[in-house]
Each structure stands twice: as C-alpha cells, then as structure tokens.
Amino acid sequence: MRPVGLVFCFVLASVLVVPRPAAAAPELVWEAKGLANPESVVYDAVTDVLYVTNVNGPVMQKDRNGFITRLKPDGSILEKRWVEGLNSPAGIALRDRTLFVADVDQLVEISAASGGVVKRHKANGAIFLNGVAIAEDGTVYVSDTPMNTIWRLKDGAFEPWFADDALNGPNGLLVEGDALIVASFGRMPSEGQTQETAGLILVNIEDQSIKPFGKGEPIGNLDGIAPLAPGVYLVTDWAAGALYEIDKSGKVKELIDLNQGSADLTYLPKAGTVLIPMMLDNTLAAYRLSEPSTETK
C-alpha cells in the first residue's frame, strides 16, 4: 500500500479500476466476519491457529486502535483482541514462537505463547512499514511502501537495507533462496492522476541487484504474495480486488474476482486453501484451490 501525507488504503477506495471479465471462482470454504480492516494473516502450525492483524481505522495512524485476532483454521474466532495497543498493524510473520508485526514505524516482536510484546524495533524515518518476510537464517525483511525501502532485522540491528525507486511501492515480500521477491503496489498518484499499476520484482540478497520478474509487465496494485508450487505464486491485487496465479515466466492467471481490499494472504498447502484478509469487508475469507492433501508429516 503508499506515499507521504496520504491515508493509504482508504484513499485507494476512490481509484477507478478498469473492469475485468469475471473468472470462475474456487470454492469459498468459510468467511470470518466482524474483523476490523484485517491486513495480514499467518498460520501457526504448532498451536494450529491463525493470527490476523487488524488496522481498525486509517492506515499509518498512531492511534493505538490496532489489534491482533486469534482464530481456528475453520474461521472460528478464539480471541478477537488477543493483542491490543498496536497502531496500524500490517504484515505479520512467525518464527521460533515469535510473531513479527509491521506497525507504522516499528517492527514489533510478540510472543506467540503469551501475546505479550517482547521488543519494539524503531524504524527512524519510515512512513509505513507494510509487508514482512523471514529468511531461513532468521533475517527479517520489512517493506516501507511509500519510501521505496526494504528494512532488515539482522543480528539485533534493524536498519534500512535497500532503497531504490525501482521498487515502485514495495508491499508484499517473499524470500526464496538468494532472492527477495517483491510484490509492488505502484506509486501513489498526485491529485487528478490515475493510479499506476506495478508488478513483481526480484532483488538479489547478496549484491542487491534488482530485476523485473518475467517480462516486468505491470499487473495491478499488488499486496500479498505466497508460494503455491515451485515457480508459481499467489498474489493479491488490493485496488482491483483479485487473486492471481503468477508463474516464474511472469504469466498471470486470475483465480478469483474479489472485492476491493484483498490484502496480505497466506496459503495452507495441506488444506489446499488460501486465506485472504478482505480489508474493506472486515472479513477473512478462505478459498479452496485444490483438494486437501492426505500426506502426513
């Protein structure tokens, strides 16, 4: 989502979107209602629960209205306000029983066991910390969408790691090997201008070289990204309201025609289900893309 002085997502509600032919939608399995501008979701395999961030108001606002909800994998809400006192919590990721939450200009560590805040990492100069991704070595990457910057938490230090206008409004992040895949939202327009679209970008973690994904063609105003299969990804389009399947060549297929506000998703491969926070509908929607796996660990 994006730049300075603009109240990000809700400004986008006025963006004119070119209609697309509706695609045949996968099966809607369940829908958790009564959330408050849900932005991101992560699954905890240890406790078999979902954690959902709730902005609960305008994004980027330091109003302490934001919270995190705990749900069962069937959409039943366990604790609506499991963690309270956040500002505008966006991306969320989990590693070693610690949740990492992007909250305006802080990366907040929260205990998955207790829900208590463990640590707050200040991001001086950040405008809107948004997407969060964690590498195999535990390094945490966080996008600052309006500032075209990727922050990094490594060895206890949280600092700007890579800044480049070519990131084009970085939103969703995914680490794969030596590459950071960035789902870009596009630059926010000035008054009277139309919203630009963007695509996926590859950033080499070792040398910070940057290149487009596939042919580099714009796709939409992208939000979340999750792996579906080797070389295949699920990506949401916030402004248009859509779920896309994108392969490594850059080929795009629309899987679901959604309402505007489809945000930072996650995919559960064993269940064959994608979970999509619908920010403007105040719901978390679960769609089955394939039959549940019968494999056991």
Structure token pair of residue 37 = 């501008």
Q: Which residues contact 286 (CB under 8 A, 6 or more apart)?
A: 28, 29, 30, 31, 75, 273, 274, 275, 276
pLDDT higher than 60, residue 295: no
The residue with greater pLDDT, 291 or 257, is 257
* Contact of 261 with 238, CB cutoff 8 Å: yes
Strand partners, 141: 133, 152
Q: Considering the chain, what percentage of its residues have pLDDT values greater than 90?
A: 84
Q: Which range among 9-18, 60-69, 126-135, 199-208 shows the weakest confidence by mean pLDDT?
A: 9-18
What CATH topology corresponds to 23-288?
Neuraminidase (2.120.10)
Residue 146 gets the label, from left (phi > 0), alpha (psi -120 to 50) or beta, of: alpha
- The dihedral sign for the CA sequence 11, 31, 259, 144: positive
Question: What's the pLDDT score for residue 18?
Answer: 44
pLDDT in tens, 60-84: 999 999 999 999 999 999 999 999 9
Contact between 54 and 105 under an 8 Å Cβ cutoff? The reply is: no
DSSP 26: P
Q: Please report the pLDDT score of residue 15 as a whole number.
A: 43
Instruction: Give the tokens for residue 246.
Output: 């994108």
The pLDDT value given to residue 267? 98
154: Cα separation from own chain's centroid: 21
Residue 40 vs residue 194, higher pLDDT: 40
Residue 55 in this model has a pLDDT that exceeds 70? yes
pLDDT recorded at residue 212: 87
- Report the C-alpha gap between 1 and 10 in whole angstroms: 10
Q: How many CB atoms within 10 Å of residue 101?
A: 28
Residue 264 pLDDT more than 80?
yes
Question: What pLDDT is recorded for position 179?
Answer: 97
Q: Average pLDDT of the chain? A: 91
For the cut 90, the answer to whether the pLDDT of residue 195 exceeds it is: no
- Would strands 242-247 and 252-257 be described as parallel, antiparallel, or unpaired? antiparallel
pLDDT at position 187 is 84
Q: DSSP readout, 236-270?
A: EETTTTEEEEEETT--EEEEEE--TTB-B-EEETT
Residue 22: exposed, middle, or buried by beta-carbon count in 10 A (0-12, 13-18, 19+)? exposed
Look at residue 133 and tell me whether its pLDDT is greater than 70.
yes
Average pLDDT over residues 42-66: 97
282-292 burial, b for 16+ CB within 10 Å, e for fewer?
bbbbbbbbeee
What residue ranges do the domains of the chain occupy?
A: 23-288
